[in-house]
Chains A and B, each alone.
Chain A
Amino acid sequence: MRLLNFPGCCCTMKGSGKAYAESLQSVLKAFDVEMEALEDWNCCGATICSSVDLEASLTMPLRNLALAEQQSGAGAARVEMMAPCSACFMVLNQAGDEVAKRTPRGISALKTLESNALTYAGNVKVRHPLDLLANDIGAREIAAKVVRPLHGLKAACYYGCLLVRPTAPFDDANRPTSMDRVVRALGAETVDWDANTRCCGGSLMATAEEVGLALSGEVFASAVQAGTDVIVTACPICEYNLECSQRKLRESRPGLKEMPAVYFSQLIGVALGIPGAELGLRRLLIPLEPALESAALKEHAHV
């Protein structure tokens, strides 16, 4: 099966989420899904451009949906396009909704598109890879492919904000379970914690560090309190904030233990026996292997 992919600025081989792109490609391949990049895609505008230019914040994502229809060929009644970043996923969905609901803003944006020789018929369904793995492929099929069960590993599944808000297209907004189901299928244990849908701080880590650190710090502290070995993420911004802020976090909270924060696709890949080089594991600032090894040791001691 081939699946159209909207990489977005982070999740490309050139972006900060390169490891996410690499591991997704390897893992989906194991389930016979080939990723086909959307040609000439553009930035979705994230949650930022609507703070500058309302119309552009709609034409930017809609251009991608129009290109997706174009690339899928005329007459495609339904086009599925994957968006691995939670912000891209939300923004593309939100733009699609404006068109589907025929809001004045949506209609006006379509006109702008048309005067630029682009049409969008409203046939694109934007999918997050977590939805694909948890709901289309499913825990059973994932479990069947596991060659290195992650027994003994305690994982905190972190959904963050934009995967489940303002709408939760494929999960429960308040008690999401899709990532937990996937991670448990790998043999790991998922912890019950209260920060799984709290915000990591997004770009505040770069612009108002004290605020960003407070937000990521709260997520991190909650994971530590739940006895977590690894934080599992589904968004390049969440992954960056929760992994790369740890050194700074320890300045104000000495003694805070170091904990890897990885993409869910990296964790699946490890359990599927895919070599680390194909999962971008060496790109982590805090390596995953020690956590896996100590979990395996703990597990042996129990048996």
Chain B
Amino acid sequence: MPTASTDEGHIASSESDLSFVSKIENEEGSALRACLQCGACSSVCPVSGFMDYTPRQIVGMARSGLSERLLKSKAIWYCASCYACTEVCPKKIPITEIIHALRRETIARKTYPKRFAPPLLTRSFHGVTASRGRSNDGLVMLHTYLREKPLKHLGMIRIAGKLWLKGRLELLPDAVKNRADFSRLVNGSTERVDGAKEVGS
């Protein structure tokens, strides 16, 4: 397939990139191609100012099959999943779900930025909850920060201590009654996501 450049200045270079569009469309049951590039999503997004690509650009890039830069971007990880974009989209494109789909691809390919907390928290949270059936703030944050920059978060000890004194931080993680059954339900017979076991134990 010949290389094609687009208005976003990125390059579509392989078959797999286009199959990537179909994959997202299948998963979301939505017509990514219906996007008007009107920018309503970017205008209501509370974090677009922090993103290397705005929501409009994310959708534009995703539908062009230009996955590589997107899958390395920080932008998709700054989404707070507040659904403001989804609600305002005139073509009813589930933009938040598309961003989640991009994140899944990123995690599967391990292309997310290194030592960057948002994807690390996502993996930790999924790992802890898929394995224990319940989350625990301390456990999730510990796993996240150890993989990010542990020293950066030493200051958190102060607020954690305060919350603990107020009874707002439980140190002993909770779990469902039968963790094996739960894991089987959530992860299926095969271990689909490598992080789950290692993080949740």
The answer to whether A and B assemble together is: yes
Residues of A participating in the B interface, judged by any CB pair closer than 8 Å:
9, 12, 14-16, 18-19, 40-43, 45-56, 59-60, 63, 103-104, 112-113, 116, 118, 161-162, 165-166, 173, 198-199, 201-204, 206-208, 210-211, 214-215, 218, 244, 282-285
A126 to B187, CA, bound (A): 25
Closest approach, in angstroms, between the C-beta of B113 and any C-beta of chain A?
A: 11
Closest approach, in angstroms, between the C-beta of A145 and any C-beta of chain B?
A: 27
Residues of chain B with a CB closer than 8 A to A162's CB: 82-83
A42 to B136, CA, bound (A): 12
**Does B134 contact A50, Cβ atoms closer than 8 Å?**
no
Closest approach, in angstroms, between the C-beta of B201 and any C-beta of chain A?
A: 16
**Does A166 contact B186, Cβ atoms closer than 8 Å?**
no
Residue from the list B100, B104, B134, B188 in contact with A42, Cβ < 8 A: B134
Residue from the list B125, B130, B167, B182 in contact with A283, Cβ < 8 A: B167
**Does B80 contact A201, Cβ atoms closer than 8 Å?**
yes
Closest approach, in angstroms, between the C-beta of B198 and any C-beta of chain A?
A: 13
A-binding segment of B11-19, B33-41, B56-64, B170-178: B170-178
**Does A42 contact B176, Cβ atoms closer than 8 Å?**
yes
A207 to B104, CA, bound (A): 18
Which of A12, A59, A284 has the most C-beta atoms of chain B within 10 angstroms of its own C-beta? A59
Interface residue ranges of B181-201 to A (CB < 8 Å):
181-182, 184-188, 192-193, 195
A50-B97, A51-B103, A52-B126 as given contacts; A165 in contact with B46, CB under 8 Å: no
Secondary structure dominating the interface of A: loop
A43 to B97, CA, bound (A): 19
Cβ of B29 within 8 Å of any chain A Cβ, yes or no, is yes
Residues of chain B with a CB closer than 8 A to A55's CB: 188
17 contacting pairs across A/B (C-beta < 8 A): A15-B170, A40-B177, A42-B129, A42-B134, A51-B107, A51-B122, A52-B104, A52-B195, A53-B193, A54-B104, A63-B185, A104-B29, A116-B181, A161-B80, A161-B83, A208-B117, A283-B166
Residues of chain A with a CB closer than 8 A to B136's CB: 9
Which of B96, B103, B130 has the most C-beta atoms of chain A within 10 angstroms of its own C-beta? B130
Residues of chain A with a CB closer than 8 A to B49's CB: 214
**Does B87 contact A118, Cβ atoms closer than 8 Å?**
no
**Does A40 contact B47, Cβ atoms closer than 8 Å?**
no
**Does A16 contact B186, Cβ atoms closer than 8 Å?**
no
Contact-residue bracket for chain B: 35 or more
Closest approach, in angstroms, between the C-beta of A42 and any C-beta of chain B?
A: 4
Residue in chain B with minimal CB distance to A104: B29
**Does B83 contact A48, Cβ atoms closer than 8 Å?**
no
A42-B134, A42-B182, A63-B185 as given contacts; A283 in contact with B83, CB under 8 Å: no
Residues of chain A with a CB closer than 8 A to B123's CB: 52
A42-B182, A204-B118 as given contacts; A166 in contact with B177, CB under 8 Å: no
Residues of chain A with a CB closer than 8 A to B83's CB: 161-162, 165-166
Interface residue ranges of B118-171 to A (CB < 8 Å):
118, 120-123, 125-126, 129-130, 133-137, 141, 144, 159, 162-163, 166-170
Closest approach, in angstroms, between the C-beta of A154 and any C-beta of chain B?
A: 24
Residues of chain B with a CB closer than 8 A to A202's CB: 80-82
Cβ of B84 within 8 Å of any chain A Cβ, yes or no, is yes
Residue from the list B96, B104, B117, B174 in contact with A206, Cβ < 8 A: B117
**Does A215 contact B134, Cβ atoms closer than 8 Å?**
no
**Does A48 contact B80, Cβ atoms closer than 8 Å?**
no
A49-B125, A198-B46 as given contacts; A165 in contact with B82, CB under 8 Å: yes
Residue in chain A with minimal CB distance to B45: A199
A14-B174, A215-B47 as given contacts; A49 in contact with B78, CB under 8 Å: no
Residues of chain B with a CB closer than 8 A to A208's CB: 50, 77-78, 117-118
